[in-house]
Amino acid sequence: MQNKTFYNEILTDHNLHPEHKHELENANFEMDGVNPSCGDEIRLKLRVDDGIITDGAYVGNGCAISQASADIMLDLIIGKTKEEAMRLSDIFLRMIKGNVTDEELEELEEASVLQDISHMPARVKCAVLGWHTMEEMFKEDKES
Amino acid sequence: MNKNPETEIKFSDKFTEEDLKIRADFPLLNKYDMAYLDNAATSQKPECVLNEEKKFYEEYNANPLRGLYNLSEMATEKYESARVTVQKFINAASEREIIFTRNASESLNLLAYSLGDLLLNEGDEIAISIMEHHSNMLPWQHAAKRKGAVLKYIECDMQGNVTEEELESVITEKTKIVAFTQISNVFGRLNDMKRLAEICHRKGAVLVADGAQSVPHIPVDVRALDVDFLAFSGHKMFAPMGIGVLYGKEEYLEKMPPFLTGGEMIDSVTREGAVYAELPHKFEAGTVNAAGAAGLAEAIRYIEKIGFDKIEERENKLTAYALWEMGKISHVKVIGSEDPDEHHGIITFTVEGVHPHDVAYILSADNIAVRAGHHCAQPLMKHLGVMSTTRASFAFYNTMEEVDRFIESLKDLRRKMGYAE
Ligand SMILES: Cc1ncc(COP(=O)(O)O)c(C=O)c1O
């Protein structure tokens, strides 16, 4: 029997003990994301001062991959500029498509544990939910 | 709480001679080392059914009901004899009452459209249960909108039980159509169609039964139940995908307008209109799925060869064992009755703290196939207060050994998700 599962410790830990799953009172960026296939939903909130993401949080519910991925993303982008966050998001989304260099993978830190999800097309939408939501949020900001 | 099956089940009889004999009929089951527990979504197909479908194309293939040559007549004969096999299987009064469709969904859409046109006027009521599959819900929502009718819901309790008072109060003299599933694809519970038909007919309503989950598992006799319509799908009863059935009482079918129009369903056409064909062809526009119908007839012969006694005995035994073992796992909560006989092979459940998609994924890593999600019953999920659930569903070809594999994987699931147990 094939017994390997994709749920390693980093993932389950972020799912069960998320650091950033809470409200954020002073947020100035906010966006909802939904993945209808799993019924995953998150509300992402960020505090951005002078182009730097100084704080971030999310609330929502859904499968472990969607929730853990959002938590891991926040770990990575808090303290970075908007542009830097968008660049990391681009790397992350390329990683999922299997198009990434080893150096880039390293930049993703813990988020790189989601690399193997590219073999599970049904779960890709879960993994990218938080990242897509962030991209949408910044894109919308640019347009307005 | 659960019935103790240990008194009845010898645990040594796993993968018995009988298991092996039955499973030898199903090519796919022998191809993979997998416990296929998603039978409520679609069943596997025995070799005889696959051969029958192939044989149609190898030996009978011509457009049925059209050609005047021998081969076309053979194709027609094959197709029409499949209809008689279906008629006898559900004990319909005449083959004119059997309409071939693609699946239960199409049968129900046909009805909502055509029966809706015949019966519904502004202010009339349609009553459906809250446990209906979207396929027996959305068509009626549309029909209600189209005809200015009111759609009412018959509620059930957390075990899927519907009380007599609820039926009597929602179904009234204003109700023209009642659509109700015979076996729920979430609870697995059998609803008493005979009793429901009595209530409907007393109040002047027509009863549409959704047999998608019942016809594959229990004997269904449309005349004994006195349902006015019955819809079901071939693919859930060991037949190919793409063939389904609508049974309807002739008195209604005669009066109903056609659903799809085009080839085959007419007697004559002029520039202004058409004279429609006799039943059942009035409702079968275009080239039909004759090979699928032949496959369905073979699936019925296969079911009859195994026998519903054997099918029910095996499915109930698997369900009882699975429910009993699941009852021992903390954090696992089964939806529906505690009585295994009220499940008809369907066990819908949740695992506390683990999202159903994660449950299904972890089971899948252990080669166990189950369904996760809302099971096309979102209003019911909401009514039960769950976002989504996981469902294991058995067919008679499943084995106790497969249940063991499922239980072993389920036991270890929370630990794999990082819970310290
Ligand atoms: C109770 C019930 N009704 C209707 C359907 C629809 O069947 P099909 O998809 O074959 O049309 C299903 C299938 O899942 C079902 O379980």
Nearest CA to ligand 1 atom 15: B212
| Residue A140 or residue A94, greater confidence | A94
The dihedrals phi and psi of B101, each to the nearest 5 degrees, come to: -130, -170
Q: How many CB atoms lie within 10 A of CB B59?
A: 11
Q: Please, which residues have CB within 8 angstroms of residue B296's CB and are 6 or more apart in sequence? A: B82, B85, B86, B234, B237, B239, B240, B243, B245
Answer whether B358 sits within 8 Å of A12, measured CB to CB.
no
Instruction: Give the three-class secondary structure for A52.
Output: strand
Integer Cα distance of B246 and B229 in angstroms: 7
Q: Identify whether residues B396 and B263 lie together within a single domain.
A: no
Integer Cα distance of A60 and A49 in angstroms: 25
Q: Identify whether residues B99 and B232 lie together within a single domain.
A: yes
CATH no. for residue B132?
3.40.640.10
Tens-digit pLDDT profile for residues B50-78? 999 999 999 999 999 887 899 999 999 99
Interchain contact B421–A (C-beta under 8 A)? no
pLDDT bin (cut points 50, 70, 90) of residue A21 is very high
Q: Identify whether residues B342 and B245 lie together within a single domain.
A: no
Q: Identify whether residues B124 and B146 lie together within a single domain.
A: yes
ipTM score? 0.84
Integer Cα distance of B294 and B285 in angstroms: 18
pLDDT bin (cut points 50, 70, 90) of residue B3 is very low
Integer Cα distance of B121 and B383 in angstroms: 29
Interchain contact B416–A (C-beta under 8 A)? yes
| pLDDT at position B8 over 60 | no
Region for A73 from its dihedrals, namely left if φ exceeds 0, alpha if ψ lies in -120 to 50, beta otherwise = alpha
Q: Which domain holds residue A112?
A: 4-143
CATH no. for residue B392?
3.90.1150.10
Is B42 inside a domain boundary?
A: no
Instruction: Give the three-class secondary structure for A126.
Output: helix
Given B303, B336, B362, the domain boundary residue is: B303
Q: Which of B354, B358, B421 to mutate to test the interface with A (most CBs of A within 10 A)?
A: B358
Q: What is the rounded average pLDDT of the residues B317-341?
A: 95
Question: B253 with B279: CB under 8 angstroms?
Answer: yes
CATH no. for residue A27?
3.90.1010.10
Which pLDDT value is given to residue B388?
87
Q: Which of B38, B185, B346 to mutate to test the pocket of ligand 1 (most atoms within 8 A of CB)?
A: B185
Is B175 inside a domain boundary?
A: yes
Is B359 inside a domain boundary?
A: yes
pLDDT bin (cut points 50, 70, 90) of residue B261 is confident
Interchain contact A64–B (C-beta under 8 A)? yes
Integer Cα distance of B143 and B112 in angstroms: 6
Question: B180 with B129: CB under 8 angstroms?
Answer: yes
Task: Name the DSSP letter for residue A111.
Answer: G
Q: Identify whether residues B350 and B289 lie together within a single domain.
A: no
pLDDT bin (cut points 50, 70, 90) of residue B9 is very low
Integer Cα distance of B38 and B44 in angstroms: 10
Is B240 inside a domain boundary?
A: yes
Total count of domains within chain B: 2
Residue B212 has which token pair? 């998608």
Q: Which domain holds residue B293?
A: 50-303
Q: Which of B233, B296, B346 to mutate to test the pocket of ligand 1 (most atoms within 8 A of CB)?
A: B233
Total count of domains within chain A: 1
Q: Identify whether residues B189 and B66 lie together within a single domain.
A: yes
Separation of CA B133 and ligand 1 centre (Å): 7
Chain-wide mean pLDDT for chain B?
A: 94
Q: How many CB atoms lie within 10 A of CB B150?
A: 15
B103 lines ligand 1 (CB under 6 A): yes
Given B271, B303, B335, the domain boundary residue is: B303
Q: Identify whether residues B135 and B56 lie together within a single domain.
A: yes
Q: Please, which residues have CB within 8 angstroms of residue B192's CB and are 6 or more apart in sequence? A: none
Integer Cα distance of A19 and B172 in angstroms: 55
Q: Identify whether residues B264 and B127 lie together within a single domain.
A: yes
Which pLDDT value is given to residue B387?
79
Strand partners, B150: B125
| pLDDT at position B196 over 50 | yes
Which residue, among B193, B174, B167, has the nearest Cα to B182 in the 3D structure? B193
Residues in B 24-83 with any Cβ partner in A closer than 8 A: 33
Q: Identify whether residues B123 and B252 lie together within a single domain.
A: yes
Interchain contact A7–B (C-beta under 8 A)? yes
Lowest mean pLDDT among A123-127, B108-112, B230-234: A123-127
The dihedrals phi and psi of B333, each to the nearest 5 degrees, come to: -125, 120
Question: B114 with B108: CB under 8 angstroms?
Answer: no
Q: Identify whether residues B242 and B342 lie together within a single domain.
A: no
Q: Identify whether residues B232 and B174 lie together within a single domain.
A: yes
Is B368 inside a domain boundary?
A: yes
How many residues are given for chain B?
421
| pLDDT at position A141 over 50 | yes
Give the distance from CA B4 to its chain's centroid.
Answer: 29
Integer Cα distance of A31 and A130 in angstroms: 10
Is B314 inside a domain boundary?
A: yes
Residues in A 9-38 with any Cβ partner in B closer than 8 A: 9, 12-13, 15-16, 38
Residue A136 has which token pair? 């949408």
Residue B376 known to be catalytic = yes
Tens-digit pLDDT profile for residues B405-418? 999 999 999 999 99
| pLDDT at position B7 over 70 | no
> Which of B367, B374, B417 shows the shortest C-beta gap to A12?
B417
Amino acid at the residue B200: C
| pLDDT at position A56 over 90 | yes
| Residue A56 or residue A6, greater confidence | A56
Tens-digit pLDDT profile for residues B293-304? 999 999 999 999
Is B421 inside a domain boundary?
A: no
CA dihedral A84, A87, A91, A93 (to 10 degrees): 120
Which residue, among B281, B224, B242, has the nearest Cα to B98 in the 3D structure? B281
Q: Identify whether residues B397 and B278 lie together within a single domain.
A: no
Torsion sign, CA atoms B138, B142, B143, B145: positive
Residue A118 has which token pair? 């590219």
